[in-house]
Amino acid sequence: MDGKRFPARIFLLYILFYSGQSIYNTYLNLYLTEQGFTKAMIGAVMSISTIFLLLAQLFWGIASDRAKSKNTIIKALFGGCAAVALLFYISANYLYLLFIITLFSIFFSPIIPLNDNLTLELLEGTEWDFGQIRMGGTIGYAVTVFAVGFTLKDQYSPIFWMTSVMMLFCLIIASGLPNVKKSQVKKGKTPFMEIFKNKTLISLVVFNIISSFGMNIYQSYYPIYFASIGGTSSQIGIMMFVSAVSEIPFLLVARRAVQKFGVEKIIIIAGLVTGIRWLLLYFVSSPTLIITTSLLHGVSFVGSNYCMTTFINKTVPADLRATSHSVFAFIGTFFSRIVFGYLGGLSGDLFGINNMMLVSSMVSFVGVIIFMISSKKLEPSSEDAETNCSLQ
């Protein structure tokens, strides 16, 4: 791969995938609400489907590290998503939708960690930073969620064929990527437990687990609450558009910011901004002001996500990278979807989503305190220092 030429195909892949993600993730629960399901029922769907997803996520991660070509795995996932998305049209029965959501998640959810790993390996030895490529996802997400919000007109069944088309395009683009073969990673198998010896990484994982509480409630249930106070599908699209666009400034300076300030300060800032964001959502009720708070997303979410993703590829042995991305995605998914997904839906029915944003704010601030305490006990390793991602 030419180290100086901009990797346009990878950039386009991010545009297309996050376009599909914006459609499915933003509007799925609104579709389920349209079918008459309560927030508790939706939470149960997410929790039950995730049990199977977790096993699949580990399977796909290990398979990617062991496959002759990692591209084969990612293409299989895109193809599976394109096919399964169309099966949503067969029935709107609750148990059937539970099955299809589970089946779709088995192919869909592992794509982000495995595609990030594939991208980081393709970028090795080039002058391009992951943040610059990931910005393609931001652009795709922003433009698509905005356009689709106006197109749907509060009717959400078209989201599945739209998602299928995007995944099919992803498959076509991925088929033209340079192969990342097993021979490209260093020989010799590194013990699986090696990934748990990095205390800095474990500290980041714990922080992400705590942060996922509020993010899960926001992504899964807040659009439903927003619609209940008069928000339309077009306004929901605008809200998600603003969230996505707000990522661009950080992604443009991400590598320099981490090199200058270190992971610890970036994570603390992200956590504090997250807490402030959820707190503002508790107090404001005007759709315009709610949309304005989405500007904070660019620091609150993407800051911690960027640190986590790049830190893994810079500190974990090459033959465990895809597995590491999948394992930590597994851990995060378990808490965000099984634990927080069901509890969030149940609590939303009992106390209201608005009140749960106040709880989310408190949880975020507690997460920052826990991270600050744990990070003080960590001594940055020489390997971390060499990658400029150590705690400072």
Residue 111 lies inside a defined structural domain of this protein: yes
CA–CA separation, 142 vs 130, rounded Å? 19
Q: Answer whether residue 3 is part of any domain.
A: no
pLDDT value, residue 19: 95
**What pLDDT score does 345 carry?**
65
pLDDT digits over 14-68, tens only? 999 999 999 998 889 889 988 988 877 887 787 777 777 777 877 887 788 777 8
The per-type count for the chain, helices as H runs and strands as E runs, is 17, 0
The residue to which tokens 């997410």 are assigned = 46
Is there a domain that residue 185 lies in? no
Domain count, the chain: 1
User: For position 87, what pLDDT does the model report?
Assistant: 97
Judged against a pLDDT cut of 50, whether residue 164 lies above it is answered with yes
Q: Is residue 2 part of a domain?
A: no
Whether residue 285 contacts residue 229, with contact meaning beta carbons closer than 8 Å, is answered with: yes
Q: Which two tokens stand for residue 172?
A: 């076509």
* Residues facing residue 181 across a β-bridge: 69
- Whether the Cβ atoms of residue 297 and residue 246 lie closer than 8 Å to each other: yes
Classify residue 254: in a domain, yes or no: yes
Q: What is the DSSP letter of 181?
A: B
Does any domain span residue 301? yes
- Residue 128: what are its φ and ψ, rounded to 5°? -95, 140
* Cβ atoms of 301 and 254 closer than 8 Å: no
Task: Provide the CATH number for the domain around residue 249.
Answer: 1.20.1250.20
List, in sequence order, the alpha helices (H) in 229-301.
Answer: 233-245, 247-283, 287-293, 297-300
d(CA 75, CA 341): 29
d(CA 56, CA 142): 29
Concatenated DSSP letters for 129-197? Answer: -HHHHHHHHHHHHHHHHHHHHHHHTT--TTHHHHHHHHHHHHHHHHTTSPP-BGGGSPSSPPPGGGGGS
Give residue 256's domain range. 9-179+196-386
Q: Which residue has the tokens 């192919």?
A: 107
DSSP conformational letter for 193: G
Structural domain contains residue 188: no
Contact between 154 and 240 (Cβ < 8 Å): no
Model confidence pLDDT, tens digit, residues 298-338: 887 777 777 777 777 677 776 666 667 667 776 766 666 66
pLDDT digit string, tens, across residues 84-108: 999 999 999 999 999 999 999 899 9
Tell whether 14 is covered by a domain. yes
